[in-house]
A and B are shown apart, each in its own frame.
Chain A
């Protein structure tokens, strides 16, 4: 009893505002995959056109890599990380150990975003949630289409916070950090980071 206590982690660790990098917009929605109707789909997109964007990633070294891991790895291999303009993430279902249909579903998520971004091979996909269940693609496809058709994108703090919430599973708070940094020549740049995770955590990514 002495050891157990309740900590309000949300108020301790979730910021109330932030700074965000130029040329990005984010959106999120509740597709109904999560049983409680919470946000469960997020998209981060680059809208800067002054030069091509670059992306990199590290992935689990677990032998049973989930479909979105395999698909995103392939996108990065094909493009060498050049021209990646979007990331689509769903929570509630990990699309792991789902075989060929899982790969098809992950590719479909990517293709839907690519179509709307009008770019081939420009999207990474990630999923988190229950292992061994197929994605409810009817709900996820509708969610992606709604985000674009209803232009749910924004670049304000709440939009970023909601994306951080949309990727949560058993997390008790969304994880979002943002900072501005100054280069030696005085120019400023911004880093914004989001993460999710509370259990099944001992990564060894490469």
Chain B
């Protein structure tokens, strides 16, 4: 179950607060996956008590967009901590889908990869298994089939530790790179933090999801949770 609380001393009008929280959640807590299961209890709440002496923030306030951006970035920090604590996880993985025809399909593709047990076990095993990533992209239930063009797709693993080279190209314009540098692949996949980058090449929209690997420990933890 996910529970979260964001507490602030700003004065924010209730409708503005609900809109701000919904916006932030759709770009943070709704973009994480540990195991693909949705709880009966997931809740994120936000309280603004107005202890800071400024005029109440409404949707039309000049500061609204700035505060909404700050709350969103803040919510992303919290959401990412949940993924980092994924049961038994050893890796934190950002799924970055770029240049999509529309946001919905970018988001669906990112979510599908994040939830693929086979992608997640490959990440745990440090196996550069691009086939599983491509498979997950391919079975995503898209809203518009034009979002995915098999001749335009690019897939890479990207290091997030500022090392160079930082990118291992797996698929280039739809063509799998069969002579992957396995030494580099092993080095990259041994990182605790990494990114899977997907360039759909069908538009301009982007989506991000945060996920983790799936380990033996996940089964151990969940085999006897109730007892």
Q: A3-B125, A199-B222 are in contact. Are A177 and B81 (CB under 8 A)?
A: yes
Q: Is the beta-carbon distance between A204 and B44 smaller than 8 angstroms?
A: no
Q: A56-B21, A57-B21 are in contact. Are A64 and B66 (CB under 8 A)?
A: no
- Of A87, A89, A203, which one neighbours B38 at CB under 8 angstroms? A203
Q: B143 to nearest A CB, angstroms?
A: 16
Q: A108 to nearest B CB, angstroms?
A: 17
Which of the four size classes fits the interface of chain A?
A: 35 or more
Complex Cα–Cα for A48 and B126 (A): 51
Q: A191 to nearest B CB, angstroms?
A: 5
Residue total for B at the interface (Cβ-Cβ under 8 A) = 80
Q: Which B residue sits closest to A59, measured CB to CB?
A: B43
Q: Which B residue sits closest to A181, measured CB to CB?
A: B70
Q: Is the beta-carbon distance between A167 and B3 smaller than 8 angstroms?
A: yes
Q: Is the beta-carbon distance between B39 and A203 smaller than 8 angstroms?
A: yes
Complex Cα–Cα for A24 and B25 (A): 23
User: Which residues of chain A are near B52, meaning CB under 8 Å?
Assistant: 22, 187-189
Complex Cα–Cα for A20 and B83 (A): 24
Q: Is the beta-carbon distance between A177 and B77 smaller than 8 angstroms?
A: yes
Residues 21-57 (chain B) with a chain A CB within 8 angstroms: 21-22, 25, 29-30, 32-54, 56
User: Which residues of chain B are near A65, meaning CB under 8 Å?
Assistant: 40
Please tell me which stretch of A109-117, A126-134, A146-154 contacts chain B, meaning at least 4 of its Cβ atoms lie within 8 angstroms of it.
Answer: A126-134
Q: A59 to nearest B CB, angstroms?
A: 5
Q: Which B residue sits closest to A84, measured CB to CB?
A: B47
User: Which residues of chain A are near B87, meaning CB under 8 Å?
Assistant: 170, 198-199
Complex Cα–Cα for A63 and B14 (A): 26
Whether a CB of chain B sits under 8 angstroms from the CB of A197 is yes
User: Which residues of chain A are near B34, meaning CB under 8 Å?
Assistant: 197-202
Q: Is the beta-carbon distance between A202 and B35 smaller than 8 angstroms?
A: yes
Q: Which A residue sits closest to B215, measured CB to CB?
A: A4
Q: B108 to nearest A CB, angstroms?
A: 12
User: Which residues of chain B are near A192, meaning CB under 8 Å?
Assistant: 6-8
Q: Is the beta-carbon distance between A48 and B78 smaller than 8 angstroms?
A: no
User: Which residues of chain B are near A60, meaning CB under 8 Å?
Assistant: 38-43
Whether a CB of chain A sits under 8 angstroms from the CB of B133 is no
Q: Is the beta-carbon distance between B44 and A205 smaller than 8 angstroms?
A: yes
Q: A104 to nearest B CB, angstroms?
A: 17
Complex Cα–Cα for A201 and B36 (A): 6
Whether a CB of chain A sits under 8 angstroms from the CB of B103 is no
Complex Cα–Cα for A30 and B103 (A): 45
Name the prevailing secondary structure of the A interface residues: loop
Residues 156-202 (chain B) with a chain A CB within 8 angstroms: 192
- Of B49, B111, B126, which one neighbours A3 at CB under 8 angstroms? B126
Whether a CB of chain A sits under 8 angstroms from the CB of B145 is no
Q: B115 to nearest A CB, angstroms?
A: 6
Residues 43-67 (chain A) with a chain B CB within 8 angstroms: 44, 46, 48, 50-62, 64-66
User: Which residues of chain A are near B43, meaning CB under 8 Å?
Assistant: 57-60, 68-69, 72, 126, 205
Whether a CB of chain B sits under 8 angstroms from the CB of A81 is yes
Whether a CB of chain A sits under 8 angstroms from the CB of B203 is no
Complex Cα–Cα for A96 and B40 (A): 7
Q: Is the beta-carbon distance between B42 and A205 smaller than 8 angstroms?
A: yes
Q: B31 to nearest A CB, angstroms?
A: 9
Q: A56-B18, A183-B63, A202-B32 are in contact. Are A169 and B1 (CB under 8 A)?
A: yes
Q: A56-B18, A81-B18, A204-B30 are in contact. Are A89 and B3 (CB under 8 A)?
A: yes
Whether a CB of chain B sits under 8 angstroms from the CB of A118 is no
Enumerate 9 A-B pairs (CB-CB under 8 Å) in ascending A order. A3-B90, A22-B51, A48-B9, A51-B11, A57-B45, A84-B47, A172-B85, A195-B44, A200-B39
Extra contacts besides A56-B45, A193-B7, A194-B5 (6): CB < 8 Å: A3-B126, A54-B13, A66-B41, A69-B40, A128-B1, A195-B79
Which 10 A/B pairs are nearest by Cβ-Cβ distance? Answer: A23-B51, A201-B34, A21-B9, A60-B42, A195-B4, A81-B14, A22-B51, A57-B45, A56-B18, A53-B49
